Amino acid sequence: MKIAITAQGPTLDSALDPRFGRCQYLILADTLTSDWTAIPNPVLGEPGGAGIAMAQRLAQEKVEALITGNIGPNAARALSASGIPVYIAGGGTARQALADFREGRLAAASGPTVTAHSGM
């Protein structure tokens, strides 16, 4: 399964980025093969709607789950419409978050965890 993890740097050993729309990097990882690629956030400098644009990107990448720290109302609605569940990680590295996800230790968010623009 292809998942996305928000990270503060471009590798699996970078710290998890608690922001979704305004994360520094998006790491796309395969849970079976552990292959991964990092892409810099294409909408980091946008004045608004970053969470929505990121959700759109995840849908295009056919990502099946997202791991991040917090999720705002617009992004939550956008991800829910694309059927991408959001798993909340408390911190650590992207690698740890991936391992925790595989072990079933991360809880899925049922809705937004923060208000709009919290990551700005």
| Binding region for other proteins (CB under 8 A) | 43, 46-50, 52-53, 55-56, 59, 74, 77-79, 81-83, 116
Min separation Cβ 77 and other proteins, Å: 7
- The CB-of-81 to other proteins minimum distance in angstroms stands at 4
Spatial CB neighbours of 99, under 8 Å, sequence gap ≥ 6: none
**Minimal distance in Å, beta carbon 51 to other proteins?**
8
Which residue, 81 or 120, has its beta carbon nearer to other proteins?
81
The amino acid occupying position 80 is S
* Three-state SS at 117: coil
Distance CA 107, CA 37 (A): 24
Closer residue to other proteins (CB): 93 or 119: 119
Closest separation between CB of residue 110 and other proteins, Å? 18
Q: Which of 31, 56 has the CB closer to other proteins? A: 56
The DSSP line for 27-82 is: EEEETTT--EEEEE-TTTT-SS-HHHHHHHHHHHTT--EEEES---HHHHHHHHHT
